[in-house]
Amino acid sequence: MSDINRIYELRLLLEKYNHEYYVLDNPSVDDMEYDRLMNELISLEAKYPETHDALSPSQRVGGQVLDNFVQVEHKRQMLSLANAFNEDDLEDFDRKIREALNIDEVDYVAELKIDGLAVSLDYVGGRLNYAATRGDGVVGENVTNNVVTIKSIPTIVDISKDFEVRGEIFMPKKSLLALNKAKAENNEQLFANARNAAAGSIRNLDSKIAANRKLDAFLYYFVNASDFGLTSHYASLEFLKQKGFKINPHVRKCRGINNVIAYIKEYEQKRPSLDYDIDGIVIKVDDLRSYQKIGQTAKTPKWAIAYKFPPELAVTKLKDIIFTVGRTGKITPNAVLEPVRVAGSLVQRATLHNQDFILQKKLMIGDYVTLRKAGDVIPEVVSALIDQRDGSERPFVMITNCPVCATALKFKDPMHFCPNPHCSARTIEKLIHFSSRDAMDIEGLGEKIVELLFNENMVKTIPDIYNLAAFSQELMEVEGFSHKSIANLLNAIEASKTKSLEKVLFGLGIREVGSKTAKILAKKYENIEYLMMATQEELTTIRDIGPVASNALVEFFDDENNQNMIVQLKNLGINFTYLGPKTSEIDNIFKDKTVVLTGSLEHYTREQATTILEKLGAKVSGSVSKKTDFVVYGSEAGSKLTKAESLGVKTLDENQFIAHLQEANIQ
């Protein structure tokens, strides 16, 4: 056998052994033999570099370091699930399903809701094409280099058609314990819980770090199962299992909602014994063919729901109440607590929102209080244990002046605000917001670094961020900085200059302008000059832009300081133009129509075709219904084309599609 053939043989063997060990938990070779074969493969691949393959088992150890993550537009939106918190919610969900389908009892599939990081895996020709995070459901981050280090995720499968599967990446409890033990020995900050550790590992730019974290994954959804003739969700999971994917062993098919409720009660008891964190149970209708009839909202499918376990309660002492100042000047009281572990992490602080919240709960400093994590995420003070008071407690008194700049506070029910625009706390929060992931995404410019740079008089305003290179020598004298970290930070700052307009708009921290509103405005006006000239009346006519937001926008752009800041940022090279897909002004048959793409197009990728259609003013959907206007199909078109024909929806093959694009002057 030639060396080249031996390379391919070793890759197949090692993939087989990975599957046996990490998925089946039934290895057929010992560690010594596995290591011997891996070393042989690494040696041969080094000898024949032309055989390099990013999906080779030898590459699962990681080692590639990226400058940043590339964004990926999901082929089909990653929807969120609606939540149920009690049996009444579940019975209401079941009633709506039965009414929609006109049947007496429904077959459901109940699954453990793994507490980790959602991931989409796209396969082309049987090979992993990319792995992407959920992101905002429409656009995620390409994290393939990190995901291939998870040995339970197959990189090559025996499926010739293109397909997509989704699942949850998680860190087993034993892996978290080992990781935190090593961190403690190195005097490093510990991970609060397994979810944070998993997310931090996958979003790390160094894939070797992800490889060392011993992550795992369960796959829970076969997106285009119907293209393979599958009509049942449970059967689709079995199909994926046969093809080498790791499916949670506790998945159960349940006849009727009562059996689902019994399953929930069973795993509420078993939850502590599992080697991974779960925060609830996911319930899905088993019959895939009924999904279209049941329907979905813009963000959530109606054929599935997530039952959330009741939050775990803990008791601790309210030692003090301190105040923080947000970027808008909002004053927030915060509980300082005796450290207590809640839902897997150590909690020492919790927001108390505002004065009314504290008074309604009758909290006193020194009280013993019950604490939970809302949604298993955010620490929340539930109540004071009044019967445990001993007389040493002190009443809460709301402050009247800003805790940072001492300016007299203003009250706007139910909040207190610092009106001083130059308050250092407000400035620091604005800088943190501008640099945050959903805004300019400047890696390395987090809360502690921003505060440090502010106190060192290096960054006092947003434009100062882009002049930080002038302080390169001074930064070398600051504890925690090195040549490499300074270079990485300056590179991240430089890279942020090319962000699209909606990112800058959101980053500027305009009151009432969240990320969604920023994108609507950016797409409508395309550059900031046109937006700055818009009147309140004009802004109010835009869908989803109400009078409060339009007033805030006009006030922001009328402020001379803000105008000067934008001029400074332009001079520093910041982009103020929308870079996303634009809507064509040319009349065409796709404008304001709903279009579904199916099959493999020869001249365009699915992403390219979607971008073109959106530019022409179309809405691209992932499913066919009576409301669909066109189905554009390529080779190997499956059930979507069949359904379109049965519903009388107009269909276009690729040549017809291209002809219409040419009519609209799109080549």
Instruction: Show which residues are catalytic.
Output: 113
Helix (H, G, I), strand (E, B) or coil at 120: strand
Q: Does the N-terminal peptide bond of residue 419 adopt cis geometry, omega within 30 degrees of 0?
A: no
- Side chain identity, residue 98: R
Beta pairing partners, 615: none
User: Which residue bears the tokens 């992800």?
Assistant: 210
User: Which residue bears the tokens 């429409």?
Assistant: 138
CA dihedral 540, 544, 548, 552 (to 10 degrees): -80
Shortest CA distance to 332 belongs to which of 313, 315, 349, 314? Answer: 349
Using an 8 Å Cβ cutoff, are 644 and 629 in contact?
no
194: its two tokens? 């397994």
Other C-beta atoms lying within 10 Å of the C-beta of residue 24: 13
In sequence order, what DSSP letters do the residues of 246-314 get, joined into one string?
A: ---TT-EEEESHHHHHHHHHHHHHHGGGSSS-EEEEEEEESBGGGHHHH-B-SS-BTTEEEEEPPPPPE
188: its two tokens? 């490093």
User: Which residue bears the tokens 């397994």?
Assistant: 194
Beta pairing partners, 308: 280
Sequence-separated (6 or more) residues with CB below 8 Å from residue 423 = 325, 329, 402, 404, 405, 407
Sequence-separated (6 or more) residues with CB below 8 Å from residue 346 = 192, 339, 340
Q: Does the N-terminal peptide bond of residue 301 adopt cis geometry, omega within 30 degrees of 0?
A: no
To the nearest 10 degrees (0 to 180), the angle between helices 424-435 and 447-455 is 130
Q: What values do phi and psi take at 585, rounded to 5?
A: -85, -10
